[in-house]
Amino acid sequence: MVLKVGITGGIGSGKSTVAKIFGLLGIPVFYADDAAKKLMNEDEHLKAKIIGAFGTDSYRNGTLNRPFIAEKVFNNPAQLTLLNSIVHPATIANADKWMQQQTAPYAIKEAALIFESGAEKWLDKVIGVFAPAPLRIQRVMQRDGITEQEVTARLNKQMNEDDKMHLCDYIINNDEQELLIPQVLKLDAILREEAGSKSKRLKAES
């Protein structure tokens, strides 16, 4: 069975960028954010749960009413926790099913919230992408066209970055001082070895 690898990091750390490099090496990548958005529009069971929690205004013509939901959870941690408690398990299950279908030595799940959602229990290894906060702020301002205050507000809602990195098995330093591609290549070799060990272990057990 494929080695299941997570990639995480704070907003603007460069986790999507790192995931794309793995993708270029032929490694299959599951983008949790995109998958969650798709599931919220297409998974009838999940849709029913969201409507049950937030009301019929949650959908318009079968499509998630994003502004309505955003307004509900914005600055309301209890409502956000409720939404996450509905969406995360569905996304985790979807990612795991996808992982099981992959035939590459290892497959990657890119997600902002891995430890926060308990998704690490479903993964063999987690890679943390690190970048200093000022650089992350600058990147997100440029990427999303928002103000420093808006980025800082998002950043402050996230788990402490040092704590998160301590929970990871490997760290990729994306501070724009150390080159990214050599770090990914090195990790790719390590993960292929790990995948080989996992496969031997599973064979020995069966």
Q: How far is the CB of 19 from ligand ADP (least distance, A)?
A: 8
Toward ligand ADP, which CB reaches closer, 65 or 183? Answer: 183
> x/- binding map, residues 121-160, to ligand ADP, per CB under 6 A?
------------------x---x-----------------
Q: Cα–Cα distance between 134 and 148 in angstroms, integer? A: 10
Q: Cα–Cα distance between 22 and 128 in angstroms, integer? A: 14
**By the 8 A CB rule, do 13 and 138 touch?**
no
Interface with ligand ADP includes 13 (CB under 6 A)? yes
Residue with the two structure tokens 């040092």: 162
Toward ligand ADP, which CB reaches closer, 29 or 123? Answer: 29
* Sheet containing strand 125-130, strands side by side: 29-31, 106-110, 3-8, 125-130, 170-173
Listed ranges 15-23, 24-32, 50-58, 63-71: which one lies at the site for ligand ADP (CB under 6 A): 15-23
> x/- binding map, residues 173-202, to ligand ADP, per CB under 6 A?
-x-x---x----------------------
Q: Cα–Cα distance between 18 and 7 in angstroms, integer? A: 8
> What is the four-CA torsion angle of 74, 76, 81, 86, rounded to 10 degrees?
-60
In this structure, what token pair is assigned to residue 98? 């996808």
Listed ranges 5-13, 23-31, 81-89, 91-99: which one lies at the site for ligand ADP (CB under 6 A): 5-13
Q: Which residues bind ligand ADP (CB under 6 A)?
A: 9, 11-17, 139, 143, 174, 176, 180
